[in-house]
Amino acid sequence: MKKNNIGPTPNSYRIRGQVSAPTSKPVRERQMIKCATADKAVDLSKPETRRALSPTALHGFFDQEWRLDDDQMRGLLGGIARSTLHSWRRSADKRVLGHDTMTRISLVVGIYKALHTCFGDPGDYWITNPNNSPLFGGAVPIDYMN
């Protein structure tokens, strides 16, 4: 029986869209980014990769459903200054994030995905509500993440 290959192949590409979602401004040029595969992750040490992925990473981070306040977001991003957070929010399309920040956002997206896999939409509330499990003892999970 023939096996169907549904996922991306090592030579597949993803194209950034022509319109950025929050601002509806046209993206000046299309950028090709090799997709991550099980055997090869995206190399965030390369500036061109970070330049291509930074706007999408920031839009995804700011558009998440957790309803985090600015201090919680700053903590997840490595304790950045308030002015830096507001600058990134205002002009996400112009930012090139560092390796550390891209890794942090990647981890947050992974947690978001895992919560939605386990709990569906109620996973949005899991991160900001008190948790009575022995691990958290009534504390709020986001406090452990900062």
Q: pLDDT tens digits, residue range 30-87?
A: 445 555 555 677 888 899 999 999 999 999 899 888 889 999 999 999 999 999 999 9
**C-alpha span between 72 and 64 (Å, rounded):** 13
Residue 20 within a domain: no
Residue 56 within a domain: yes
Domain limits for position 89: 43-145
The structural domain count of the chain equals 1
Give the model confidence (pLDDT) of 113-141 as tens digits: 999 999 998 888 899 999 999 999 999 99
Residue 96 within a domain: yes
**C-alpha span between 73 and 56 (Å, rounded):** 16
Q: Does the model's pTM come out above 0.75?
A: no
Residue 13 within a domain: no
Residue 25 within a domain: no
Residue 80 within a domain: yes
Residue 68 within a domain: yes
**C-alpha span between 145 and 128 (Å, rounded):** 11
Residue 31 within a domain: no
